[in-house]
Amino acid sequence: MTKLQGRELYNSIGNPKRIVAPMVDQSELAWRILSRRYGATLCYTPMFHAKLFATSEKYRKDMWSELDGDDSKDRPLVVQFCANDPEYLLQAAKFVVGKCDAVDLNLGCPQGIAKKGGYGAFLMDDWDLIYKLINKLHTELEIPVTAKIRVYEDKQKTLDYAKMVLSAGAQFLTVHGRLREQKGQKTGLADWEILQYLRESLPKDTVFFANGNILYPEDITRCLTKVNCDAVMSAEGNLYNPGVFMKESADLEKQFPRVDQLLREYYEIVKECPGNASKIAMKSHFFKILRPFLPHHTDIRQQIATCTPKHKFEEIEQIVINVEKIVQEIFAKPDIEELDKITTGEQQLWGGAYKTIPYWRCQPYFRPVDGVTGDKRVTDALKQKEEGKTAEVVESTSTEQDKNNKRRAEEELDNESKKQSN
């Protein structure tokens, strides 16, 4: 087996542009198969715990099946691990050799469990350990290693960090343009400016993936253009609408699929997937697919809430059937063509534009905090920032004008004095 590196590795997997992000219990096999049908050209597995994967056969069976990494259904594929021990990381990675194209080290998880376990984004405080983890795989594993990081507030520190990760042996670098502190209610907007800075400052042959701020298919094109990255990764955008990976030229039915049709398609995939991971994740995916639909049909929400992995497929399918009946009734309305329209609003300060999408179609989720949705918080924050810049310019201009007026007054007084002297 030839161990490919960098650009050669990227070319060998087809130069993917649209990537399903590694997500805890969410980017499992069934979801990856579905996402590939909707435009994803590279997928990452969920974040696996390296020590558990290395030492627990039960954990491996729950997380991994004979169909994961299948040549015809699940490639190209990168398997992601969180770790803080190089030996356990290597042991875990050896289990997936031959079933993936690379192994990724998670350096971006900001959640409390990562802080408690000492992995993910909380390794940002220990560069020596990060180097050892990556370099262990780079020098001893038969397949390549990659890494996914977050940024610091300081651009130069982030650049130095990225260079260290690459020097340790990472063949792809994925950068999530948010700080470690930006999570949950503090998520905010990812910083494409720092992504652009890193792309321009790193060696030109670096394979660079950008992550953050993907709501609609056109945002992928914007990001590719703005950052000049090789590919764009999406996590939450993909979870609520797999169609986010469709090209802008694709039919709107694929960009914003009907929830009933997507739910049925996903459910049929889960039924064919071996192992436990896809079945365990199904309930969560049902909630996310149907997120805009459930406030209008709370009875469906209750049906999903009572489901467990122990339920038979026939029982779960009844939920799918109920959703199908409701949406079919909606599409039987005489004015459905008018009701089913998708409209695009004005361009926002963040560069894109929000869309108004019927609740029976998949769409982004703007998580509310204290009753204010994420899109409104971002817009207001950017307006305040813009107003602050304007105020600074006005103040600066006023100060400069004051200086000029003072200088002219002094010159006039000086000239007057000279005249009187003469």
Structure tokens of 373? 């949705």
Q: Which two tokens stand for residue 201?
A: 């400052």
Residue 171 CB neighbour total at 10 angstroms: 24
Q: Supply the DSSP symbol for 222.
A: H
Nearest Cα neighbor of 214 from 199, 236, 196 is 236
β-pair partners for 245: none
Q: Which pair of structure tokens corresponds to residue 322?
A: 């109920």
Told to judge if 109 belongs to the known catalytic residues of this protein, a careful annotator would answer yes
Alpha-carbon distance of 237 to 325, in angstroms, equals 27
Secondary structure letter of residue 37 according to DSSP: H
Distance CA 4, CA 346 (A): 45
Q: Select which of 100, 109, 223, 273 is catalytic.
A: 109
Give 173's DSSP letter: E
List the structure tokens of 208. 């660079």
CB 174 within 8 Å of CB 148: yes
Contact 120, 82 (CB under 8 A): yes
* DSSP state letter for 22: P
Cβ pair 204, 6 in contact under 8 A = no
Q: What is the four-CA torsion angle of 90, 96, 99, 102, rounded to 10 degrees? A: -30
> What is the distance between the alpha carbons of residues 284 and 31, in angstroms, rounded to a whole number?
11
The torsion angles phi and psi of 60, rounded to 5 degrees, stand at -60, -40
Buried b (16+ CB within 10 A) or exposed e, 172-192: bbbbbbbbbebbeeebbbbbb
Which positions are annotated as active-site residues? 109
